[in-house]
Amino acid sequence: MKGENDPLASFWMPFTANRAYKAQPRQLVSASGMYYQSADGRQILDGTSGLWCSNAGHCRAEIVEAITKTAATLDYAPTFQLGHPLPFELAQRLAALMPDGLDRIFFTNSGSESVDTALKIALAAQRARGQGTRTRLIGRERAYHGTGFGGISVGGLVNNRRAFGGGLPGTDHLRHTHDRDRNAFSRGFPQHGAELADDLQRLVDLHGTETIAAVIVEPMAGSTGVLIPPVGYLQRLRDICDHHGIILIFDEVITAFGRVGGATAASEWGVTPDIITMAKGLTNAAVPMGAVAVKRELHDVVIESVPGGIELFHGYTYSGHPLAAAAGLAALDVYEREGLFERARELGAYWEDAAHSLKVGRHVVDIRAIGLVAGIELEPRPGAPAARATEFFHAAFDNGLLIRATGDIIALSPPLIVEKAQIDEMFGKLAELVERID
């Protein structure tokens, strides 16, 4: 409505309780390194790398400089039937970081676009292989694969689908791997649950091998509350995929770029998928960008399946955008120079001990930690799911700490530059809240 004078009214905020937020806004106005600054002038320790994305900390000078320079030199250039050097250079750098064989890179602008791109590439590759009846896409309960129609369909969160027609037909889901009865307070990978991968074999038996194109999983499910894969689970999925010619996609939008040590969870945990989706840490979140790494053999089969002309009818106006590619190159430089991919490995034990120090706290029913990620699961208040963790989120923010609340789980994923003293500060503040909040 013209003339409306509420300055917060027009922005329809994503995944937000808009009315509650606008009644009590929490604005961030600047950021540097490990800290945000709030509109009321407070320093907020970033326990979540923004949204799992500012892996090298905020406003890194090299990245700012690369973006600024590129904006003044080549603000935009198409990559449809034309090119410019930056995405070629970034693709080559990324290919070198991926597990062996995944050296063909498609650029997108977000994790959701990366997921939809990966699903489409899997379908196209099956068709190009002469397996055009393979159109079924398999996801997993509790999975988050972004908000495109493909992503919500293979995703396992009903709230993200319910209002939108239920998602694409022809999908199915593995059971999730969260098993508190057997695995609560596990250290590292939980011992129980590798057999849940056999759900894929059950779906093969149910639907027929010849109908299944691909299976997509987050190697570690992040958004749904830090679910670490049971020992042997990912390898078992790999084996079943190999046996049945199913394409295995790892959604590494959160886990790539050092979150669990190593450039990818795939390389860190020794299981190689056929396709990896990425986004978030790729540019340190300074410019939106996503990417999909594809096994060369799958790329080649698609490229060679047509005699000439366009091979894959897919892409985005901003695929390989100059500013994003420049930010990506600069971010990779920072990660490499500062050894940030190894940091989660180096600090992992300290981080895990700090997280598990909350075990004695009231209402804490599980703690999961790996690399530089932790999930602290709280018992829901009777009749008020998510209320307790939401109160933690608000109280932590008021107390100078940014955490993430997902359901009744608190998720932590600080920038990889975090120091031990800041880890102590984070868990110290959380310990106070565990004492205080009923």
Ligand X SMILES: Cc1ncc(COP(=O)(O)O)c(C=O)c1O
Footprint of ligand X (CB under 6 A): 110-112, 115, 144-146, 218, 222-223, 251, 253-254, 279
Of 290 and 364, nearer to ligand X (C-beta) is 290
Chain centroid to Cα 38, Å, comes to 25
Can you list the alpha helix ranges (DSSP code H) found in 370-419? 387-398
CA atoms within 13 A on the CB side of 381: 10
How far the first Cα of the chain sits from its last, in Å, is 42
Of 103 and 218, nearer to ligand X (C-beta) is 218
How far apart (Å, rounded) are the C-alpha atoms in residues 55 and 332?
11
Nearest approach in angstroms of CB 391 to ligand X is 23
Of 146 and 375, nearer to ligand X (C-beta) is 146
Of 128 and 375, nearer to ligand X (C-beta) is 375
Of 219 and 427, nearer to ligand X (C-beta) is 219
Of 110 and 126, nearer to ligand X (C-beta) is 110
Nearest approach in angstroms of CB 279 to ligand X is 5
How far apart (Å, rounded) are the C-alpha atoms in residues 373 and 413?
5
DSSP classification of residue 381: B
Strands 212-217, 136-140: pairing is parallel
Nearest approach in angstroms of CB 113 to ligand X is 7
Using CB atoms, what's the residue nearest to ligand X? 111
Nearest approach in angstroms of CB 137 to ligand X is 15
Instruction: Collapse the DSSP code of 272 into the 3-class scheme (helix H, G, I; strand E, B; otherwise coil) and give the result.
Output: coil
How far apart (Å, rounded) are the C-alpha atoms in residues 270 and 272?
6
Nearest approach in angstroms of CB 221 to ligand X is 8
Can you list the alpha helix ranges (DSSP code H) found in 34-110? 49-52, 61-73, 85-97
Of 79 and 224, nearer to ligand X (C-beta) is 224
How far apart (Å, rounded) are the C-alpha atoms in residues 99 and 420?
30
Nearest approach in angstroms of CB 271 to ligand X is 16
User: Length of the chain, please?
Assistant: 438
Nearest approach in angstroms of CB 322 to ligand X is 20
Q: Mind spelling out the 3-state secondary structure of 240-271?
A: HHHHHCCEEEEECCCCCCCCCCCCCHHHHHCC
